[in-house]
């Protein structure tokens, strides 16, 4: 898949999104007729291929809306590689009207506790779901062991699918990606389990600890055993910035270093001054770019920026990088919707 910023690339995501909304303009009356008739099979045959044309891995659903009667949801299904596509699809959608709104992820349901699913031909009442909750010391996520009276009779995959759907309805898909860590679909009730309806309050309490911007200072070693220091935003996860899928790595060699190869003296001051100028540039770009991590080791600092390709950030950053004179700087650009390049720092 090419960069989303390359809007003229034949067959690229932008063209696929345009094609979907052209289809929707023609197909909407038929979709509404099938929905009113309750013909889910024909509805899937109508909508499914249009969504698959965007990407076969996307998921979709039509649910009661929040601001409209119906919501068409086209979601990444928790896959960070697909999340930017789903969000760009939603941004290109027609304005919300009385009948339709368009969402890039499954929202929380206010009536979740009263909902009943069909799982393996049996009724799965969310009101009977209980959760064992654990927040490891210093963690930014809640580990969950989910139990339902049906779970002992279900296979592993079916149990997990039911648990994940229930969590999406309780919290919303994006909140699950933000705040939930390990998930177990248990066949026995966890000790100190609580009713699942209490999960949103527990998540809200955890989230309140991270309302202000925070950075974590880290130390480690390179593959060669050299000392490494880093600073990373905390918490750090791509779900918070779904349109920033272009990775820009700025490598700055520095002239003065200590015995461990870390910046010292005038070079330390020069790096601070460069970062201040970079921060000012990114602030001017608003939500189009973000410095997320910088790592120093063995005579070089690498600054990791994620950007919206549509904002053409690399050209602006390149002008700033060209002013660095302590060795030859480097600017590397790649598509990275899952933020794989900085995966050790994700939290």
Indicate if the alpha-carbon torsion angle 346, 83, 316, 277 is positive or negative: negative
Average pLDDT over residues 313-327: 95
Indicate if the alpha-carbon torsion angle 168, 170, 174, 175 is positive or negative: negative
What per-residue confidence (pLDDT) applies to 70? Answer: 96
339's torsion region: left (phi>0), alpha (psi -120 to 50) or beta?
Answer: left
Q: Which residue has the higher pLDDT, 8 or 335?
A: 335
pLDDT one-digit tens code per residue, 236-286: 999 999 999 999 999 999 999 999 999 999 999 999 999 999 999 999 999
Does residue 290 have a pLDDT over 80?
yes
Does residue 2 have a pLDDT over 80?
no
Contact 276, 267 (CB under 8 A): no
In angstroms, the Cα distances linking 224 to 170, 220, 259, 272, 297 are: 46, 11, 15, 26, 11
pLDDT one-digit tens code per residue, 88-126: 999 999 999 999 999 999 999 888 888 888 888 889 999
Angle in degrees, CA 153, 149, 117, rounded to 5: 85
Does residue 140 have a pLDDT over 60?
yes
What per-residue confidence (pLDDT) applies to 111? Answer: 87
Q: How confident is the model at residue 11 (pLDDT cuts 50, 70, 90)?
A: low
In angstroms, the Cα distances linking 9 to 23, 92, 149, 198 are: 20, 17, 51, 47
Does residue 8 have a pLDDT over 90?
no
pLDDT one-digit tens code per residue, 194-208: 999 999 999 999 999
Contact 58, 92 (CB under 8 A): no
What per-residue confidence (pLDDT) applies to 81? Answer: 94
CATH 3.30.70 at 215-345, yes or no = yes
Mean pLDDT score of the chain, rounded to an integer? Answer: 93
What per-residue confidence (pLDDT) applies to 5? Answer: 35
Average pLDDT over residues 293-307: 97
Phi, psi angle pair for 60, to nearest 5°:
-145, 160
Q: How confident is the model at residue 7 (pLDDT cuts 50, 70, 90)?
A: very low
Contact 86, 76 (CB under 8 A): yes
Kind of pairing, strands 122-125 and 116-119? antiparallel
Does residue 147 have a pLDDT over 80?
yes
In angstroms, the Cα distances linking 195 to 104, 127, 148, 199, 202 are: 28, 8, 10, 8, 11
In angstroms, the Cα distances linking 93 to 34, 97, 101, 276 are: 21, 11, 9, 37
Does residue 6 have a pLDDT over 50?
no
Domain boundaries, the chain: 13-103, 112-210, 215-345
Report the distance separating Cα 107 and Cα 105, nearest Å: 6
pTM (2 d.p.): 0.89
Does residue 4 have a pLDDT over 60?
no
Quote the radius of gyration of the chain (alpha carbons, Å): 23
Q: Which residues fall within 8 angstroms of residue 252, CB to CB, at 6 or more apart?
A: 271, 274, 300, 301, 302, 303, 321, 324, 326, 327, 329
How close are the terminal C-alpha atoms of the chain, in Å? Answer: 26
Question: In terms of Cα–Cα distance, which of 76, 77, 12, 83 is closest to 339?
Answer: 83
Phi, psi angle pair for 156, to nearest 5°:
-55, -50
Does residue 12 have a pLDDT over 90?
no
Cis previous bond, 235, omega within 30 = yes
In angstroms, the Cα distances linking 39 to 8, 30, 122 are: 38, 11, 21
């Amino acid at each position: 898949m090419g960069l989303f910023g390359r809007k003229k690339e034949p067959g690229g995501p932008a063209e696929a999104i345009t094609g979907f909304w052209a289809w929707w303009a023609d197909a909407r009356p038929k979709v509404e007729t099938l929905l009113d008739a309750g013909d889910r099979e024909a509805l899937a045959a109508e909508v499914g291929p249009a969504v698959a044309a965007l990407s076969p891995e996307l998921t979709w659903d039509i649910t009661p809306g929040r601001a409209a009667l119906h919501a068409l949801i086209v979601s990444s299904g928790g896959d960070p590689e697909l999340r930017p596509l789903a969000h760009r699809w939603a941004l290109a959608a027609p304005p919300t009207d009385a009948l339709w709104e368009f969402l890039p992820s499954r929202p929380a349901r206010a009536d979740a506790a009263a909902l009943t699913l069909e799982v393996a031909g049996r009724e799965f009442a969310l009101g009977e779901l209980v959760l064992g909750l654990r927040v490891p010391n210093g963690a930014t996520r809640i580990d969950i062991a989910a139990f339902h009276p049906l779970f002992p009779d279900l296979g592993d995959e079916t149990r997990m699918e039911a648990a994940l759907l229930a969590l999406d309805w309780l919290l919303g898909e994006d909140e699950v990606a933000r705040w939930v860590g390990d998930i177990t679909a248990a066949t026995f009730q966890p000790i100190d389990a609580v009713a699942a309806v209490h999960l949103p309050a527990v998540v809200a309490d955890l989230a309140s600890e991270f309302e202000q911007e925070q950075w974590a200072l880290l130390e480690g070693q390179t593959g060669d055993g050299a000392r490494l220091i880093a600073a990373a935003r905390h918490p750090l996860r791509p779900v918070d910035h779904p349109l920033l899928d272009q990775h820009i790595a700025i490598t700055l060699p520095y002239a003065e270093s200590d015995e461990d190869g870390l910046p010292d003296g005038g070079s330390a001051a020069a790096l601070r001054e460069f970062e201040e100028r970079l921060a000012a540039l990114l602030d001017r770009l608003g939500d189009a770019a973000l410095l997320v991590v910088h790592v120093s080791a063995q005579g070089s600092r690498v600054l990791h920026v994620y950007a919206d390709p549509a904002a053409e950030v690399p050209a602006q950053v390149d002008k700033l990088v060209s002013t660095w004179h302590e060795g030859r700087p480097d600017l590397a650009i790649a598509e990275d919707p899952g933020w794989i390049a900085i995966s050790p720092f994700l939290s």
